[in-house]
Amino acid sequence: MSKTENKTFSFDPLGYYAILGVAYNAEEEEIKQNYREKAKVLHPDRNPDENALEKFQKLSVAYDVLKDETSRLIYDLMAQAHPKESFPDINALKAYKNRSGEEDISVRALVLRQVTGKIVKFSDVENYEICNFKEAQTAVLLASVSNWFLGWWHPKAFGKNVQALIENIKGINANRQDNFTLLTHNAVAYWEDSKKEQALLSALQAGSYANAYQKGLLNKFIAMLNVRTSVKLPVWNWGRLKALQLIVPAVLVLTVLLSLSTRVMTDSELAKYFAKKNEITYFQQVQFRTGGETVDDMVVGRIIDLPADPQDTRLLYHTKTETKAMHGPSDDFDVMTTLKPRQTVRMTGYTPDNIWYRVQIDNGEMGFVRAEFLAKGVGAKIPDGSKIYTGPEL
C-alpha cells in the first residue's frame, strides 16, 4: 500500500459500469437489461468485428461482477479504497500487517515528513508507516528527534524542516483517505480469508474515516457479514502522538533555562548563605540549667546538617581530652554528658561559624562539642553495638 494523496479515485476504476452503459447507482434490473442488449450486439456469432470476442468477454466479466449483490458491493468498496492506477486483484487480497509483520486490527497509516541536513546537501522525504499505536509512538518520536537534531544542517533544509515539524504535529491524523483505504482493504481481505470478526472490526473502524456514501457501503458490508463481536475497538490517542513531538523542544528549553539559573554552591558559600539568611535546619529538645525544656528553633540556632551514614568513616572524630557535650551549641546550655579522652564520635552537623560541632555518641544521642576539642579520625576502639559506626572493624 502506498500513500493515496493526489491519486484519482473513481466509482468505476475498472470500467465495469461503463461497459454496461449504466451509472454506479443503477438498479439491478437496469444492469440486466443493458447486458442483454449489448450481448446481442457484441456476441461473436452476430458481430463480424475482429474485436467482437474481446469486447464480449469484457462485457461478460463486468456483468458477472455487477449482477451479484455481494461481488458488486465488494467492487464498489474497493473502488472507494483504491485508485485506478493501483487497483488490486479483488480475488487475491492480502491484509496489510503492522511493522512487526503481524496481522493487527488496530493498524493505522501514518505519514511523517523527515528532513535531514548534510551540510552540502539535504533530504526531504515522507515516510509512510502502517503500524499499531505502540509502534506509532516509536515512529513519531524517532522522526521528531531526527528532525530536531539533524534537520537544520543546510540553508535550504532549515525552512523545510520548520514546515516538516509543523506538518507532522498538525497532520498526525489528517490523512483520512489513507486510513479509509487501509481499513477497508483489510476488512475485505479478512472476509475473503473467512475471518469475519476481524473483517467486522476493520469495517467499523473504517467508518470513522468514511464519507456518507462510503458509510452506506460499509453498513451493507457489515450486514452481509452477519457476525457480532465482544472485542473492544482499539482507540488511538492522537493527542499523545502530538505531545510526543514536543518532548525534544521542551527538554531543550528546560536545559537552557537551568543553565542560565542554576550553579553549584561551594561548602563555604553554603555556610555563608545559612549565616546570612538566618535559616533554621535543626530542631532538638533543649534542656536549661534553670529547668524546663523547649524545642524553640530560635533558641537552638542555625545548624548545617551532614549525612549520618553509619558505614562512612570520613566524619568520625575523637576527643582530644575529657570533653563536655552540651544540649545546644553554646556554653549556656546544660551538659548532656561528659566524653572520655579519645572517645570516637560521629560529626552530624556544624554551626556556620565552625565553632560548634554536633556529634553523635555510641547510644545514638546527639550533643554539641566545641570544634577545638575534637580531632579527625578514630580514637579509642568503637564498642560493639555502637550506633556511630556499623561497618567493618577499624
In this predicted structure, which of 25-34, 292-301, 337-346, 350-359 has the lowest mean pLDDT?
292-301
Q: Tell me the pLDDT tens digit for each residue of 213-224.
A: 999 999 999 999
Question: How far from the centroid of its chain's Cα atoms is residue 157's Cα?
Answer: 27
Q: Tell me the mean pLDDT in the region 251-260.
A: 88
What is the value of pTM for the model shown? Answer: 0.65
Give the 3-state DSSP-derived string for the chain, with helices as H, strands as E and coil as C: CCCCCCCCCCCCCCCHHHHHCCCCCCCHHHHHHHHHHHHHHHCCCCCCCCCHHHHHHHHHHHHHHHCCHHHHHHHHHHHHHCCHHHCCCHHHCCCCCCCCCCCCCCCEEEEEEEEEECCCCEEEEEEEEEECHHHHHHHHHHHHHHHHHHCCCCHHHHHHHHHHHHHHHHCCCCCHHHHHHHHHHHHHHHHHCCCHHHHHHHHHHHHHHCCHHHHHHHHHHHHHHCCCCCCCCCCCCHHHHHHHCCHHHHHHHHHHHHHHHCCCCCHHHHHHHHHHHCCCCCCCCEECCCCCEECCHHHHCCCEECCCCCCCCCCEEEECCCEEEECCCCCCCCEEEEECCCCEEEEEEECCCCCEEEEECCCCCEEEEEHHHEEECCCCCCCCCCCCCCCCCC
pLDDT band, very low/low/confident/very high, at 271 (cuts 50, 70, 90):
low
For residue 109, give the nearest of 92, 131, 125, 87 by alpha carbon.
131
At 8 the pLDDT is: 73
pLDDT digits 0-9 by tens, 26-44: 999 999 999 999 999 988 8
pLDDT score at 138: 96
Q: How confident is the model at residue 5 (pLDDT cuts 50, 70, 90)?
A: low
Res 47: pLDDT: 83
**Mean pLDDT along residues 37-56:** 88
